[in-house]
Amino acid sequence: MKTQVPKTIRIVLATIVFLLSTLFFCDFIHRMPVAWHGLMHIQLVPAVLSGSIGILIFLFLLAVLFGRIYCSVICPMGILQDILSWFTRRGKKKNRKKRWYHYTRPYNAVRYTLLGMCILFLTVGISTPLLYLDPYSNFGRIAVNLFRPVAIGGNNVVNRIALLFNNYDFYQITIHTVTTASLILALAALLTVGMLAVWRGRLFCNLICPVGSFLGLLSKFALFRVRIDSSKCNGCGLCAKACKAECIDSKGQTIDYSRCVACFNCLDRCTKQALSYTPPALVGTGLSRPPQSAVNRNRRAFIATSTAMAVTLPLIPVWAKGKQPADATQLAPITPPGSRSLKRFKEKCTACHLCITHCPMQILKPAGFNFGWEYAFKPHLVFYENAFCNYNCTICTQICPNRAIEPLELPEKQTTQIGIAQFDVNLCVVYVDNTSCGACAEHCPVKAVRMEPYQGSLTLPHMYPELCVGCGGCESICPVRPVKAIHVLPSAVHGTAERPQEEEVEQINADDLDFGF
Amino acid sequence: MQRRDFIKTTLAAGAAVMTFDSLWANPNQLTVESTPDMVAVKGGAPAQMLREAFKSLGGIGQYVKKGQNVVIKPNIGWDRKPEFAADTNPELVGELVKQCLQAGAKKVTVFDHTCDNWQRCYNNSGIRGAVEAAGGVMVPGNDSSYYKEVKLPKGVKLKSVKIHQALLEADVWFNVPVLKHHDGARMSIAMKNYMGIVENRPYFHSNDLQQCIADVCTWDKKPVLNIIDAYRCMLRNGPQGRSVKDAYEMKALIISKDIVAADTAAIRMFSQVEKIRIEDVGHIANGEKLRLGTQQLDKLNIKRINI
């Protein structure tokens, strides 16, 4: 096999995955095929949280057979780092010396502590460490909160110009879903990952990323791996200079497979053809073995990691306690239909913001810390003018890769009670001004708010809470300011609304009717 | 000459001149005895009824001239299938687009300021499909940047309003509502359909809805025709309807330039199936007070067609 073939395949696959993921995350006109969400389901953290056994087995086999291919072609954050270092021409032959990579020792204590912390917290139902560290969720937030607004801005400029020529092929889009908190977090993630990538290649993946650390543990035993044929190697170090994972020790002729992301940049860099990506049988004598000193280092790292975890462990109950709202009347978020309950949603969601992009009504907004630190950055429903949960839409339930929002068929979604509207007659326009209104009843898809006879020809809203699904149609359109006369109170555990009764109507044949005038 | 004779003679002469003038100016009208004030059709398919109605009205060419920029404003307020009768019949809108283009219109655009997500409304109502198949253009109405301020000097509560720029730039426009029950305004027909051309609807609701509806209809650029789709009507649970059982196949169409008369006729037709008192639909009386038209249908020349 030619030495550049694996790298070419990697680049082609990575480009496809990155383009599809980015487009799907930035899709502000909702034109991308919904089926693309499959790409998000094969991400490791979503697969763990959604309990997708099949995908986990696939990813496990991928790692033990081929190494950390995942990090190079499946993880959009990994590919984003490659793009950034490619633009800055890191590790390129023709560059000045300082642009080369150098072999470094692994930071095992840090990376395994972070991994252990994520796992430990997850076992007690807290996904918060993963929310901040998961590469997929971070990529999602960067795309949704930074790339997407830029794309929308471009669209709006084009639209303004088109409107001058009375052309309506484009349309204006107002950005409702980026909050200060989500913007800051996404920016921080992009700056951190970006600077690490430009400075030291895949340092993020080998220092911070829990997915990288976990796959590293598996890829140590990978069948296919980049191997150094010591009979050919002259220790020149060209491979190490191209290695963005900084894992090739050319002097010791060893590769740290826990850090190798299988990018294959090293393969065609070797002038002696000493490097190959092969199973063990094909390389007889040249099998690289870790030198003795490495064992000591591993032991040291193990001790450090264990100590760090032992210190973290008692903290968990303290953190877990802190998550309970101090005041029971504290305002709670409205969680999307399919999330089942506030508790479940908090445990499962890592705030990738995919649902935020795809909500056609743009009512899902990332929270700040107002609902407690455990809900921070996770989406909740916000109703504003002309924006409420569409009765016939299930898109967020279909695409959530974590299954934090479980898939709902339309009939189930239409009876899922995410909250219940509360009507305050003392604020109502009809009661206060004695004029017609009925905007709430008009917007109610299930007639949980109905206009009933009041004074003269006036009608007054009346609530049937058992029918209410909490879609917020009424709240979004209620003209009363500043406090609306009708608003949705969230259900901490989603209920089931009664299905609206269909009235039997006496059939009058239209042919028997006259004009009536 | 006595004063009485003078008045008589002047009036007679004036009438003669006017008649002569209209005959002279519009030779097309010679073929029609006299253009009716209202045409009502029953018993046909939506497109067929529209074609029949235009025959009595002297053809679409009476309303759309060559090279004109035409806007059609149906009701596309809700994300509902056509069977719900929550939105104007797509077949009717498609046929109207086709006729306008045949009459030589330069461009036919269709929009509504929808209540639900505009793309879902446009698509699921079937209107986008019908309009684009007929050669018309669907225009978004979702963003406030499309709306421009217009003064309403005759308005009682509503003195100015922001109206969609497609309509401001149009040479002629058609108001094409669907006949339905409405929880807020009691009935949603031609006058209520005006609420889809404006930006700020909550203002209407908080400032005497029934008066604001009448006020917005005083905008001096009137539709050349109000075409009320009564092929399917929503009898109750309007304006969205809870199920298709709320819809009723009336198989009718009412067309008039007089918006008050059109709404009055539609309510009388509707009342045969589901009782509704016209006094409760406050905006109609308010509209008559603002001289937008008449509820006195017997004073109008109405052409009734049974298919």
Task: Encode pLDDT of A78-121 as tens digits.
Answer: 999 999 988 887 766 555 556 788 999 999 999 999 999 999 99
The mean per-residue pLDDT over the stretch A43-69 comes to 95
Query: Which member of A433, A436, A446 has the closest CB to residue B185?
Result: A436
B212 and B88 in a common domain: yes
Q: What is the overall mean pLDDT for chain B? A: 91
- Do B44 and B11 belong together in one domain? no
To probe the interface with B, which of A442, A457, A474, A505 has the most B CB atoms within 10 Å?
A: A442
Residues B41, B20 within the same domain = no
Query: Which CATH code is given to the segment(s) A342-496?
Result: 3.30.70.20
Q: With contacts defined as CB-CB under 8 Å, which chain A residues touch B186?
A: 436, 457, 459
Nearest to B245 among A502, A510, A517 (CB): A502
Best residue in B42, B179, B215, B242 for a mutation probing chain A (most A CBs within 10 Å): B242
Q: What is the pLDDT of residue B238?
A: 85
| Helix axes of A135-142 and A76-87: crossing angle, nearest 10 degrees | 60
From the number of C-beta atoms within 10 Å of its C-beta (0-12, 13-18, 19+), residue B29 rates as: middle
B-chain residues near A161 (CB < 8 A): none
- Of residues A447 and A505, the one with the higher pLDDT is A447
Would you state the pLDDT for residue A282? Answer: 52
* Closest-approach residue (CA) in chain B for A481: B206
**CB-based contacts of A511: which residues, under 8 Å, 6+ apart?**
B43, B251
**Residue A371: strand, helix, or coil:** coil
Cβ atoms of B98 and B110 within 8 Å: the answer is no
Do B116 and B15 share a structural domain? no
- For position B34, what pLDDT does the model report? 80
Encode pLDDT of A253-271 as tens digits. Answer: 999 999 999 999 999 889 9
Q: Which two tokens stand for residue B269?
A: 């037709």
Q: Read off the pLDDT of residues B115-165 as tens digits, 9 standing for 90 and up.
A: 999 999 999 999 999 999 999 999 999 888 889 999 999 999 999 999 999
Q: Does the pLDDT at position A330 exceed 90?
A: no
The whole-number pLDDT of residue A3 equals 72
3-class state of residue B38 by DSSP: strand
DSSP string, A198-238: HHHSSHHHHHT-HHHHHHHHHHTT-SSEEEE-TTT-----H
**In whole numbers, what is the pLDDT of chain A averaged over residues?**
89
Interface subset of A 300-329, CB within 8 angstroms of B? none
In a shared domain, residues B15 and B64: no
Q: Report CB contact under 8 Å: B270, A516.
A: yes
Residue A240: pLDDT above 90? yes
Here the tokens at position B196 are 């889809």
pLDDT for A62: 95
Percentage of chain A modeled with pLDDT above 70: 89
Distance in angstroms (rounded) separating the CA atoms of residues A447 and A391: 12
Say what the pLDDT of residue B27 is: 46
Separation of alpha carbons B128 and B6, rounded Å:
59
A172 vs B contacts (CB less than 8 Å): 140, 142-143, 145-146
For residues A453-466, give the mean pLDDT: 93
Closest residue by Cα to residue B157 from B205, B125, B197, B190? B205
A326: pLDDT strictly greater than 50? no
- B36 and B26 belong to one structural domain: no
Instruction: Using a CB–CB cutoff of 8 Å, tell me whether A514 touches chain B.
Output: yes
- Pick B279's closest partner by Cβ from A447, A457, A503: A457
Specify the pLDDT at position A169.
84
Of B143, B202, B243, Cβ closest to residue A171: B143
Contacts of A429 in chain B (CB under 8 A): 205-206
Q: How far apart are CA A411 and CA A416, in angstroms?
A: 9
Indicate if B18 and B85 belong to the same structural domain: no
Q: What is the pLDDT of residue A94?
A: 58
Q: Write the pLDDT tens digit of every residue in B256-275.
A: 999 999 999 999 999 999 99
pLDDT band, residue A189 (cuts 50/70/90) = very high
Total structural domains in chain B? 2
Does B30 score more than 50 pLDDT? no
CA–CA dist A358, A497 (Å, integer): 25
CATH number at residue B181: 3.40.50.11440
Nearest chain B Cα to A457, which residue? B280
* Chain pair A-B, CB pairs under 8 angstroms: 157
Average pLDDT (A5-22) is 95
Cβ distance B240 to A393 less than 8 Å, yes or no, reads: no
d(CA A390, CA A201): 44
| Chain A residues within an 8 Å CB radius of B272 | 508, 513-514, 516
The residue behind tokens 């539709």 is B223
| Closest CA–CA distance from residue B191 to any residue of chain A (Å) | 15
Find the mean pLDDT for residues B24-42.
70
Q: For CATH 3.30.70.20, list the domain ranges present in chain A.
A: 342-496
Question: Looking at CA atoms only, how far is residue B130 from chain A in angstroms?
Answer: 18
Backbone φ and ψ for A393, nearest 5 degrees, come out as -115, 140
Give the separation between CA A375 and CA A205, rounded to whole angstroms: 26
Taking each helix axis as running N to C, give the angle between helix A135-142 and helix A5-26, from 0 to 180 degrees, rounded to the nearest 10.
50
C-beta atoms of A168 and B183 within 8 A: no
Which amino acid, one-letter code, is at B154?
K
How far B198 CA sits from the closest chain A CA (Å)?
Answer: 13
What end-to-end distance do the CA atoms of chain B give, in Å?
55
Structural domain of residue B79, as residue ranges? 32-306
Task: Tell which of B158, B205, B235 to mutate to test the A interface (max A CBs under 10 Å).
Answer: B205
Nearest by CB to B272, from A437, A459, A516: name it: A516
To test the contact with chain A by mutation, choose from B41, B109, B240, B298 the residue with the greatest count of A C-beta atoms within 10 A, namely B240
Contact A457 B280 (CB under 8 A): yes
**Confidence (pLDDT) at A287:** 46
CB pair distance less than 8 Å for B183 and A442: yes
Show which of residues 445-474 on chain A sit within 8 Å of chain B, judged by CB atoms.
445-447, 450-451, 457, 459
| Closest by Cα among A71, A90, A93 to A199 | A90
Same domain, B54 and B24: no
* B281: DSSP letter: S
User: In A393-438, which ranges are continuous DSSP H helix?
Assistant: 395-399, 410-413, 429-433
- DSSP H/E element including A439: helix A439-443
Q: Which stretch of A90-94, A185-189, A378-382 has the lowest confidence by average pLDDT?
A: A90-94
The three-class DSSP label of residue B143 is coil
Query: Confidence class of residue A501 from pLDDT cuts 50, 70 and 90?
Result: confident
pLDDT at residue A513, rounded to an integer: 87
Same domain? B55 vs B12 = no
Question: Do B73 and B23 lie in a common domain?
Answer: no
pLDDT band at B8 (very low <50, low <70, confident <90, very high): low
Q: Is there a contact between B235 and A171 if contact means CB atoms under 8 Å apart? A: no
Rounded Cα distance, B50 and B60, in Å: 10
Residue B216 structure tokens: 């917005």
Q: Is the same domain home to B8 and B155?
A: no
Q: Per the CB < 8 Å rule, is B205 touching A505?
A: no
Q: Which two tokens stand for residue A483?
A: 């406090």
Same domain? B108 vs B128: yes
Is the Cβ–Cβ distance between A206 and A106 less than 8 Å? yes
Say yes or no to pLDDT of B31 above 60. no
What's the pLDDT score for residue B28?
Answer: 47
Q: Give the pLDDT confidence score for residue B144 in this predicted structure.
A: 87
Lowest mean pLDDT among A221-225, A325-329, B177-181: A325-329
